[in-house]
Amino acid sequence: MKIFKIFSKKKDAAAQTDAPIGPKKPSPAIKRKNKGTLTAIGALLLASAAIRAATGAGEAFANEPAPNAAPEPEQHQAQADHAAPAAEGGQPMMADSDILPLIQALNARETRIKKRESDLEVRMQALSLAEQEIDRKLEALEQAEANLKATLAIAQTAAEDDLSRLTNVYANMKPKQAAALFEEMDPEFSAGFLGRMKPDAAAAIMAGLTPQAAYLISVVLAGRNANVPKE
């Protein structure tokens, strides 16, 4: 703006200087002065154009990003997100070709574990069935043992009853007839009957025996009573 004001003042001064006062023709000095004024005006126009060009270039350079300028925050965040998986754990991410064998190995291991679990389950079922069978057989054996004990008890009771009845028969016989039978018996067998009889009945039969038979029966009876605790 200062340049244009100066230019306007010079132009007004030139106009006042060049204004004709009469019909006189301009002198050579005035012509040279006009020529210098035109040269100055052209120089001023060139300087103004140069200043405008320099100003536009400065704005263009100011708007153009610097080559080494830092990236925008969005771009920096995208790069960080892209590099984050590789940075985690300090190891780069594995490629698909590296992950596939690992997945296959894990699947194979899982298959083996499932097979072992299935085999173990089958064995457990077999053991459970065997345990049930053993329990059933034990119950059967216990029942058989109980039945056997009952049978033996019945047999023993029957035998005891038979011996008691037979002993009563010998005790009710005449002593002489009973002594003849006891004389033919084995001393241990006859001693068993005499031991069950009442003392008076046994004494009557013993009196009818021969001395040798009575002695042998007495030895057997004494041997049976030898282990009886005494007061």
Helix (H, G, I), strand (E, B) or coil at 19: coil
How many CB atoms sit inside 10 A of residue 158's CB? 10
Indicate the residue type of 80. Answer: A
Q: Quickly tell me which residue has 């002993």 as its tokens.
A: 167
How far is Cα 164 from Cα 22, in angstroms, rounded to an integer?
197
Domain boundaries, the chain: 101-163, 173-225
pLDDT (tens place) for every residue of the chain, 231 residues total: 444 444 455 545 444 444 444 444 555 555 555 566 667 777 777 777 767 666 655 555 455 554 444 445 455 455 545 544 444 555 555 566 778 888 989 999 999 999 999 999 999 999 999 999 999 999 999 999 999 998 888 888 877 888 889 899 999 999 999 999 999 999 998 898 998 899 999 999 999 999 999 999 999 988 876 665 555
What six digits make up the tokens of 16? 């006042």
Q: Taking the mean position of all CA atoms in its chain, how far away is CA 119?
A: 19
Alpha helices in the chain (DSSP H): 2-18, 28-63, 73-87, 96-172, 175-184, 187-196, 199-207, 211-225
Tokens (6 digits) for 23: 């019909």
Angle value at C-alpha 105, between 110 and 119, nearest 5 degrees: 30
- pTM score: 0.35
- Nearest-10 Cα torsion for 104, 107, 113, 115: -100
| CA separation for the pair 150, 77 (Å, rounded) | 95
What are the Cα distances from residue 166, in Å, to 159, 160, 173, 190, 221? 10, 10, 11, 12, 19
In this structure, is the dihedral angle defined by the CA atoms of residues 54, 55, 60 and 61, taken in order, positive or negative? positive
